[in-house]
Chains A and B, each alone.
Chain A
Amino acid sequence: MKISMILNGKKTEAEIDADMLLIDFVRSQGCYSVKRGCETSNCGLCTVFLEGKPVLSCSVLAARANGCKVDTLEGLQEEAEEFGSFIAGQGAEQCGFCNPGMIMNAIALFRENPDPSEEEIKEYLAGNLCRCSGYEGQLRGILNFLAWKKQQGGAS
């Protein structure tokens, strides 16, 4: 079947099988930031935005995204670099494999709730597994980023 979506701001059309998953579709379109870490919708590595909302692309049919707006980290490079540098500032990116999914979901959190508490951060990102960092460094990076953002806001 034929589908068409706005992938990272660009109209993208393709002929696909009905059971193709969105993760495989976006990877086939060169969006390699989207990773697969499990088959059971538990790890959060494959997080993309579907109509602006963070979802697990391993659990969405590409067909279902027909006519939708889909964003991956490839389409959010500036934000990724800006926020990611705070994760790197802690050495918490580590192996990096979970980073794109975590960073996508963190960006979703900041859009929904620009001033989250520690508990809100943990709860929102609970579906993003990381086996390297022990999460603490990611949290430090997020808090530093939010403090910096606040300062930026205050300055402008």
Chain B
Amino acid sequence: MIKIKDYVRVGSLEEAYELNQKRSACILGGMLWTKMGQRQVQTAIDLSGLGLDQIEESEEEFSIGCMVTLRQMEEHEGLNAYTDGAARESVRSIVGVQFRNLATVGGSIFGRFGFSDVLTLFLALDTEVELVHAGRMPLAEFACSKRDRDVLVRLIVKKHEGVTVYQSHRNSRTDFPVLTCAVRVEDGKGCAVLGARPAKAARVELPAELAEKLAAGKASAEELKAAASEISDQFTYGSNMRGSAEYRHHLGRVLLRRCMEEIQKKEEQ
């Protein structure tokens, strides 16, 4: 269990950033992961009072505050309409409602966890992160960067015309995923993200020709199979207690193909 000396509910992001510069400080997300650690924390910083628990939607983008819970993501109509339900699909298997009422988007993204469903989904979207000190940067860049003492403020998802599909495989229904997979096709481009490999989610761009075919719903079953196999080969896979590298690679082929099939079906609608 984590040990905490002082708890501060900050009044501003600047205050949070200042306090967080000490190594013994810790920003609290949903606490689900943090509390299990053996850390001795001098100052626990709570961002609850900053109004960062809202999903705001405009014509161009979604702004998702770092304290937005996974449950909010699951239930947000706009976000789910935009992602064809992939937002809900990506989080609904995470433990239970009470857990998702606590777990935050900011905590999931900042942790850059290998098993993260949330990171998998947002990597497939045109997502930027906003940090107090470093400002805005693409999520893909942030995900690869080392953890530092900056403070994650929100995610910004830019809207485009497109289709998203999310699938995962789990050994039991609410377990960590063995593999996560998100595929998005937009504006004649496409990308595929595989996470929980068990390394953290990574994204590859789909060949333009394939993306166009998917958007038109015209890829044949054989083509999809071959494409899934090819794309899956671009990722690395490792083993852990939930599955071997070989199985994950196998699942990569299956889930990528199924996601692309689903994209075609949705494009047809």
The chain A residues found within 8 Å of chain B, CB to CB, are 1, 17-19, 21, 39-42, 44, 47, 50, 53-56, 58-61, 63-64, 66, 105, 108-109, 123-128
Residues of B within 8 A of A42 (CB): 95
Complex Cα distance A50/B95, Å? 18
Query: Which of B28, B46, B99 has a CB less than 8 Å from the CB of A56?
Result: B99
A68 to chain B, nearest CB (A): 10
Q: Among B31-39, B114-122, B231-239, which stretch is in contact with chain A?
A: B31-39
> Inside 8 A of B4's CB, which chain A residues have their CB?
17-19, 61
Contact of B99 among A39, A41, A61, A66 (CB under 8 A): A41
Bound CA–CA A47/B101 (angstroms): 11
By secondary structure, the B interface counts as mixed
CB pair A40–B46 under 8 Å, yes or no, is no
Query: Contacts A18-B6, A54-B101 given: A59-B92 contact, CB under 8 Å?
Result: no
In whole Å, how far is A36's beta carbon from the nearest beta carbon of chain B? 12
CB-CB under 8 A from A123, the residues of chain B are 92
Given known A56-B99, A56-B102, contact A19–B174 (CB-CB < 8 A): no
| Cβ-defined contact, A18 with B102, below 8 A | no
Closest 6 pairs between A and B when the two form their complex, measured CB to CB: A127-B96, A19-B4, A18-B7, A63-B7, A18-B4, A54-B98
Question: Is A64's CB under 8 angstroms from B101's CB?
Answer: no
**CB of B81 within 8 Å of the partner chain:** no
Determine the chain A residues whose CB is within 8 A of the CB of B22 once the complex forms.
none
Asked whether B25 is an interface residue with its Cβ less than 8 Å from the other chain, the reply is no
The interface residues of chain B lying within 8 Å CB-to-CB of A64 are: 7, 9, 28, 31, 46, 48
Q: Which residues of A have CB within 8 Å of B71? A: 53
A59 contacts B28, CB within 8 Å? no
The 0/1 profile, CB within 8 Å of A marked 1, for residues 79-105 of chain B is: 000000000000010011111011000
**Contact status A126-B44, CB under 8 Å:** no
- Is B173 in the interface zone, CB < 8 Å from A? yes
Q: A18-B5, A64-B46, A64-B48 are in contact. Are A59 and B96 (CB under 8 A)?
A: no
Does B241 sit at the interface, judged by CB under 8 A? no
Q: How far is the CB of A53 from chain B (nearest CB, A)?
A: 5
Contacts of B36 in A (CB 8 A): 39-41
| Given A59-B30, A60-B31, A61-B4: 11 more A-B contacts, CB < 8 Å | A18-B6, A19-B5, A19-B7, A50-B101, A54-B98, A55-B101, A56-B102, A124-B97, A127-B97, A127-B98, A127-B174
